Amino acid sequence: MEEPNVFSSDRTILCLFDVDGTLTAPREIAEQLGEGDDVIRKFDYVFAENGTVQYKDGKLLSKYAIQNQIGEELLQDLINFCLGYMGLIKLPKKRGTFIEFRNGMINISPVGRSCTAEERIEFSEIDKREKIREKFVTALKEEFAGKGLQFTKGGLISFDVFPEGWDKRLCLELLDREGLDSIYFFGNETSDGGNDYEIFNDPRTIGFTVFSPEDTVRFCRELFFDASPHEP
């Protein structure tokens, strides 16, 4: 939930940021913030892929593997269902990388992650009208009910599938041990079904909904530099 300015210089506060739409325009973390190990060294903590890949002070602490959690049979059933479903979707354009296998999740993009920035926006506008991702997730929930899978929308063109409980709150297990007074979380997908929803509503965080990187800057100025978030 959102709170007013409660910052005090004698408190240890960690600012935890979503990336897509919060710190930068939507892209993968390495593209957004730097290449390779550089991005990992820029921050005290980096929690990639919902926190299933965790870094502290530039060093890898842990890495989860979705195939070990749900098993190869369910994983292939999921991938095959998604391929079949997307084969029936008609869009103005389709590109490549419709299914991306990651450490802790599967990312599904009906238009394809290799689309251009213009094609990304075009799909997003169509998705707002026709609820393409929402209908896709509904079909997956029906097909895989009781299988221990969770589905969340993030960014403009895709959604994630991962084991139940592997949402962004995973990082809080580590941060609970770090002696912090408060954790401020900033994210743009904080409504129900968005990939920031669970951590935004967790009692261990103070959540702020933002709508752009510029909005994030305004909030931080207000919280830590005593400047109004409405100032340019």
Q: Which residues carry a binding-site annotation for alpha-D-mannose 1-phosphate?
A: 102, 113, 120, 158, 160
d(CA 33, CA 213): 13
Candidate list 10, 20, 37, 215, residue with the active-site label:
20
Q: How many Cα atoms sit within 13 Å of 128 on the Cβ side?
A: 7
User: Is 176 marked active-site?
Assistant: no
Q: What are the structure tokens assigned to 33, written together?
A: 């913030």
C-alpha closest to that of 224 among 161, 182, 194: 182
Using DSSP's 3-state secondary structure scheme, residue 174 falls into helix
Rounded Cα distance between 64 and 175, Å, is 17
Q: Which residues contribute to the annotated binding site for Mg(2+)?
A: 188, 200, 202, 205
Judge whether 10 counts as a catalytic residue.
no
Q: What residue ranges in 143-181 does DSSP mark as E strands?
A: 149-154, 158-163
Strand order across the 206-209 sheet: 13-17, 182-187, 206-209
Residue of 18, 127, 167, 196 marked catalytic:
18
Amino acid at 28: E
Active site residues: 18, 20
